[in-house]
Amino acid sequence: MLDFPGFMKSSKNRISNKEQNTQDIEGYYYTAVDGSQMAFWTCHSDRTSKKHKHDFDEYMVCVSGQYTVIMNDKEYVLNPGDEILIPKGTEQGGRCIAGTRTIHAFGGKRITGD
C-alpha cells in the first residue's frame, strides 16, 4: 500500500496545521473512550519535527519511508516495521523523508480537534 485507506482519512478527523509539530504533513486522529488517541501521519516531502514533550507515553511505528526520532539528543532511525516507545516527559523531535507514513498511539489526549 502506498497510502492509508480512505476510511482512515475522514475530513472530520484531520489534524489541523496548528496542532502539528512538523510543517506540511497530513494527519488524522481517533480518540478512545478513555481519552487516549491514535494518529496517522503522511509526510509528502522531507521535513523536520520541532522539539517537544508530552505528559503521556507515545508509541510509534514506521509504516513506510524512514523516520529518525531524536530523544534527549540521541537518534533512532525507524524503517518500515520499526517501532519505538517515547516515555512521557521525554524531549523529542525528528526527521522524516518524503513518503514516510507513521502510526502513533498516545497515552493521553495529544490532539484537541480545535
- CATH 2.60.120.10 describes domain 16-106: yes
- Residue 96, number of CB atoms within 10 A of its CB: 26
> What pLDDT, on a 0 to 100 scale, did the predictor assign at position 112?
87
- Pairing outcome for strands 74-78 and 25-31: unpaired
> How would residue 114 be classed by pLDDT, with cut points 50, 70 and 90?
low
Mean pLDDT of 65-73: 95
pLDDT per position as a tens digit, 84-99? 999 999 999 999 999 9
Do 53 and 86 contact (CB within 8 A), yes or no?
no
Q: Which cell goes with 49?
A: 519535527
pLDDT bucket at 113, cuts 50 / 70 / 90: confident
* pLDDT for res 38: 97
Report the predicted TM-score, pTM, of the whole model to 2 decimal places: 0.91
| Distance between CA atoms of residues 89 and 46, nearest Å | 26
- The C-alpha atoms of residue 58 and residue 85 are separated, in whole angstroms, by 6
| Predicted confidence (pLDDT) per residue in 20-55, tens digit | 777 778 999 999 999 999 999 999 999 998 899 999
pLDDT of residue 63: 98
